Amino acid sequence: MVDAGCRYRKRVAMSKNRTIGVGVISLGWMGRLHTRAYKTMAEKFPELDASIRLVVACDPVEENQKLATEALGFEKAVSDYHDVINNPEVDVVSICSPNFLHHEIGIAAAKADKPFWIEKPMGVSAVESREIAQAAAEAGIVTSVGFNYRHVPAIEEARRLIAAGKLGRITNVRCWLLADYASSPKGAFTWRYERKRAGSGVVGDLLSHGADLVQYLLADRIKSVSALTDTFILNRPIPLKQGVGHTGWVVSDETRPVENEDYVAAMIRTDAGVVGTLESSRVAVGPRAEYIIEVYGTDGSIRWNFEKLNDLEVCLGQDNGEVHGYVRSMANPHYPNFMRFQPGAGTSMGFDDQKSVECYKFLAGVLENKQLGPSTADGWAAAEVDEAIVASAADGRWHDVAVVDGPLTYNLGFGE
């Protein structure tokens, strides 16, 4: 496996002017975001010391192909993903297609020996995620999975505090991801609501982020779960015109039954004995993207909310001394990577910036032949948590989470 990675590294390093040829598959919201991230490398991460060349984009929608070449800067646009993966000028591939295509495309990229950056969930099941991860491991390629919340400077600072023992012995964790993107009953029936093409619903779409965040902050594996799920909007209108992401869809009066869950709540236990809860909804009325994680220890706690992603609430010591409660720590030049995007505390980073950090870790890993960002093994690990949650919701019992192998990174560098 190592030899394949080394051969690839030499091929990229020896390319003219150290240029990395990029191919992006699917130009929905996430594909466009990947594209913007690649474009930020020269400015935000000059130490990468490589030029980014947008070689080719793939999308079946003609309008998106036109956007690729006329607005996004790609040299070429195609409708067949094989024309991206098999293009000799493409060194790395972004896989931003819907869930049901991840397995097919991820396996093809691995067989072509192309390092790839893939969005989560990696497939529609833990089996598909495992097969993607194993194919990448067999090929010896560096990969990345879209667990972007790892890369928020406030999250990185929280992880540092936990690793340094500032919270004492970790006792429990709470994480909830409440969103309203599907709260309207008039929202179009897309692939997200079809079990065959999406797999689970909000479990894979949002809760997988929560599972990864818990494991990343604690450097600890979720080993067992007990869960319940429900579907609150039972039918959705069939679309007449495709949108981008969750917006721009035109719908008919005809509806289809929703096939997966809108809501999930789970209790968890970790290998180290930490207990906690995970909760997620895609139909919450009120929260827009209220993604919160709280970690409690014997000597303190931290709290982070994505809707205020530049802030970290911190309590150190039994009551934070004279403060008696949380203090608000604003992202600042001491936080990892913050200064790449903003000059000082109070000026906010945004969602796109997380993906730029993710992009850098992917590309730096490819050039160094080293797994630096979330790997396909991490994606598989989150999928196994998802799978156990779905199984538990079906039979009402506690379920063990299957152990995965491969280059897991959620505990990489923890406590060093």
DSSP 107-162: HHHHHTT--EEEPSSSSSSHHHHHHHHHHHHHHT--EEE--GGGG-HHHHHHHHHH
C-alpha distances in Å from residue 224, one per residue of 65, 84, 143, 383: 44, 40, 27, 13
Are the beta carbons of 379 and 95 closer than 8 angstroms? Answer: no
Residue 326 has pLDDT above 50, yes or no: yes
Q: Is residue 384 part of a domain?
A: yes
End-to-end CA distance of the chain: 27
Same domain as 269, residue 336: yes
pLDDT the model gives residue 338: 96
> Which of the listed residues 91, 119, 148 is the one where a domain comes to its end?
148
Residue with tokens 């199984």: 391
CA 336 – CA 153 distance, rounded (Å): 5
Looking at 148, 169, 200, the residue that finishes a domain is: 148
Confidence of residue 378 (pLDDT cuts 50, 70, 90): very high
What is the reported pLDDT for 243? 64
Are both 387 and 317 inside the same structural domain?
yes
- Co-location of 236 and 266 in the same domain: yes
| The pLDDT of residue 249 | 67
Residue 9 has pLDDT above 80, yes or no: no
Average pLDDT over residues 152-178: 98
Residue 4 within any structural domain of the chain: no
Q: What is the pLDDT of residue 413?
A: 83
pLDDT at residue 7 in the model: 41
- Based on the fold, state whether residues 133 and 166 are members of the same structural domain: no
Same-domain pairing of 257 and 228? yes
Query: Are residue 91 and residue 229 in the same domain, yes or no?
Result: no
* pLDDT of 293 higher than 80: yes
| C-alpha–C-alpha distance, residues 409 and 377, integer Å | 8
Q: How many other CB atoms are found less than 10 A from the CB of residue 334?
A: 12
Above 90 in pLDDT, residue 252? no
Query: Residue 109: what pLDDT?
Result: 98
Average pLDDT over residues 64-74: 98
- Give yes or no: residues 98 and 214 share one domain: no
Which domain CATH number covers 170? 3.30.360.10
Instruction: Report yes or no on 2 lying in a domain.
Output: no
The conformation of residue 76, written as its DSSP 8-state character, comes to: E
For residue 21, the number of C-alpha atoms closer than 13 Å in the C-beta half-sphere is: 20
Residue 386 CA, distance from chain mean position: 14
Domain count, the chain: 2
pLDDT above 50: residue 219: yes
**Average pLDDT score, the chain:** 93
Answer yes or no: is pLDDT of 248 > 80: no
User: Are both 234 and 342 inside the same structural domain?
Assistant: yes
Distance, C-alpha 126 to centroid of its chain: 16
Q: What percent of the chain has pLDDT over 70?
A: 94
Q: What is the pLDDT of residue 318?
A: 85
Round to whole Å and give the CA distance between 311 and 16.
42
* CATH number for the domain that contains residue 48: 3.40.50.720
Between 253 and 93, name the one with better pLDDT. 93
In a domain, 5, yes or no: no
Q: Which two tokens stand for residue 208?
A: 């997988």
Q: Which of 121, 148, 175 is the last residue of a domain?
A: 148
Residues 184 and 135 in one domain: no
For 377-407, give the DSSP string: HHHHHHHHHHHHHHHHHHHSS-EEPPP--S-
Pair 156, 96 in one domain? no
List pLDDT tens digits, range 113-125.
Answer: 999 999 999 999 9
The model's confidence at residue 359, banded by pLDDT at 50, 70 and 90, is very high
Give the pLDDT score at 409: 96
One domain for residues 25 and 103: yes
In a domain, 408, yes or no: no
**Global confidence as pTM:** 0.93
6 assigned to some structural domain: no
pLDDT band with cut points at 50, 70 and 90 for residue 65: very high
Confidence band for 319, pLDDT divided at 50, 70 and 90: confident
pLDDT digit string (tens) for 10-61?
345 434 468 999 999 999 999 999 999 999 999 999 999 999 999 999 999 9
**Same domain, yes or no: 162 and 174:** yes
Q: How many of the other CB atoms lie within 10 Å of CB of 82? A: 12
Domain annotation covers residue 361: no
User: Where does the pLDDT of residue 253 fall: very low under 50, low under 70, confident under 90, or very high at 90 and above?
Assistant: confident
Q: Find out whether 71 and 39 touch, Cβ atoms under 8 Å.
A: no
The reply to whether 54 falls in a domain is yes
**Containing structural domain, residue 262:** 152-351+373-400
| pLDDT score, position 244 | 59
Distance CA 82, CA 74 (A): 17
